[in-house]
């Protein structure tokens, strides 16, 4: 995960997201009306995608507020994963929408209806402008939030979709090529699938307690074993508490005569300075005492 975060005041960020939600809902309404009047499925497809973005921004806004709650006796790690859960909900919804659009596009390919090209071009042009405004509102925040980053990328995708719809409307005006409308719809749907499929993977990794892209567990293991007084490290786990916090735990076998407190302090300092890991749980053992675990953990990294 990147460490060069661009922090924005939480209240300011919330206001930006709220404005982005409002303009996207207005755009969705205009696109649906224009799509129904003109008969353009591509315009309605773009409207549905915009509506999904508005909903995702609403979910992100709620998740941002929940994530700022302090830890308590129920959520001892805090509520930071609220944004990760929200992201999973958003991407799942995008998958459903994309498959629906594919089905509708295929049906219209079999019987392409008439489409009013002028309405399509005008509404899609307005959509392109609104997408640009929304992207500008969320760009800076996207550098520090998985949820907002997804929303920003969705708006970029929407802008590209609007360009595609304008292209389709122009071809309908020039050549009355009605088949282009469902073809563009299919293209938008496939792009949504590709985009959502790529972005959902890190979300699933966090929820599955997977290790982050960086640091690698092998690198952490090497540095821990290199510390003075450490004879061996096992029972090692590296996972993400949320998008920005990584946790680590391990059993350390210390050499005879080594000071337990000194070893613990040096290993934790190394983890913080070298790998930006500030949540580390270390259990120290000796070769004579053996591992304190009674039952073997088949999921352990050795």
List the one residue out of 185, 168, 27, 184 whose CA is nearest residue 101. Answer: 185
User: CATH topology for 217-286?
Assistant: Alpha-Beta Plaits (3.30.70)
73 phi and psi, to 5 degrees? -70, -20
For residues 23, 26, 28 and 29, what is the CA-based torsion angle, rounded to 10 degrees? 180
Which CATH entry fits the domain spanning 10-207: 3.55.40.20, 1.20.1050.10, 1.20.1510.10, 3.30.930.10? 1.20.1510.10
In a 13 Å sphere around the CA of 145, the CA atoms on its Cβ side amount to 31
Instruction: Assess whether pLDDT exceeds 50 at residue 6.
Output: no
For tokens 């405004």, name the residue.
133
pLDDT the model gives residue 9: 62
Same topology for domains 10-207 and 217-286, yes or no? Answer: no
Distance CA 299, CA 302 (A): 9
Distance CA 153, CA 240 (A): 23
> What number is the average pLDDT over the span 129-145?
75
pLDDT the model gives residue 196: 82
Q: How many CB atoms lie within 10 A of CB 98?
A: 24
CA angle 121, 152, 35 (to 5 degrees): 25
Distance CA 171, CA 117 (A): 8
Q: Kindly report the average pLDDT of the chain as a whole number.
A: 80
Q: What is the per-residue pLDDT across 258-274, written as a single tens digit (0 to 9) for each?
A: 899 999 999 999 999 99
Token pair recorded at residue 175: 């050549």
pLDDT the model gives residue 162: 73
Q: How far is the first Cα of the chain from the last one, in angstroms, to the nearest whole number? A: 24
pLDDT the model gives residue 57: 79
Q: How many CB atoms lie within 10 A of CB 64?
A: 20
Instruction: Assess whether pLDDT exceeds 60 at residue 4.
Output: no
Q: What is the per-residue pLDDT across 140-178, written as a single tens digit (0 to 9) for each?
A: 777 777 777 777 776 776 777 677 777 777 777 777 777
What's the pLDDT band for 5 if we cut at 50, 70, 90?
very low
Domain residue spans in the chain? 10-207, 217-286
What's the pLDDT band for 298 if we cut at 50, 70, 90?
very low
Contact 195, 153 (CB under 8 A): yes
pLDDT the model gives residue 293: 65
Q: What is the per-residue pLDDT across 181-219, written as a single tens digit (0 to 9) for each?
A: 788 878 888 888 888 888 889 889 999 999 888 899 999
Better-scored residue on pLDDT, 255 or 43: 255
pLDDT the model gives residue 8: 59
pLDDT the model gives residue 301: 47
Which pTM value belongs to this model? 0.72
236 phi and psi, to 5 degrees? -95, 130
List 301's β-bridge partners, or say none. 236
């Amino acid at each position: 995960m990147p460490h060069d975060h661009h922090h924005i005041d939480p209240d300011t960020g919330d206001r930006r997201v709220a404005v982005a939600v409002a303009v996207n809902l207005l755009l969705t309404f205009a696109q649906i009306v224009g799509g129904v009047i003109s008969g353009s499925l591509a315009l309605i497809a773009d409207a549905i995608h915009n509506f999904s973005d508005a909903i995702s921004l609403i979910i992100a806004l709620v998740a941002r507020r929940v994530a700022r709650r302090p830890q308590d006796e129920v959520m001892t790690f805090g509520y930071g994963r609220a944004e990760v859960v929200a992201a999973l909900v958003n991407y799942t919804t995008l998958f459903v929408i994309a498959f629906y659009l594919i089905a509708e596009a295929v049906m219209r390919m079999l019987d392409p209806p008439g489409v009013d090209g002028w309405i399509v071009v005008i509404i899609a042009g307005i959509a392109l402008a609104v997408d640009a405004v929304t992207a500008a509102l969320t760009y800076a925040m996207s550098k520090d939030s998985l949820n907002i980053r997804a929303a920003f990328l969705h708006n970029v995708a929407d802008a590209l979709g609007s360009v595609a719809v304008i292209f389709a409307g122009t071809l309908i005006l020039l050549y009355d090529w009605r088949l282009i409308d469902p073809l563009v719809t299919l293209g938008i749907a496939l792009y949504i699938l590709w985009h959502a499929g790529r972005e959902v993977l890190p979300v699933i990794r966090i929820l599955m307690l997977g290790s982050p892209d960086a640091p690698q567990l092998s690198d952490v293991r090497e540095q821990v074993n290199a510390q003075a007084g450490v004879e061996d490290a096992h029972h090692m786990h590296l996972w993400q508490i949320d998008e920005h916090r990584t946790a680590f735990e391990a059993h350390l076998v210390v050499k005879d005569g080594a000071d337990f407190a000194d070893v613990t302090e040096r290993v934790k300092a190394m983890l913080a300075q070298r790998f930006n890991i500030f949540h580390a749980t270390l259990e120290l053992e000796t070769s004579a005492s053996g591992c304190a675990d009674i039952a073997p953990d088949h999921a352990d990294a050795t």
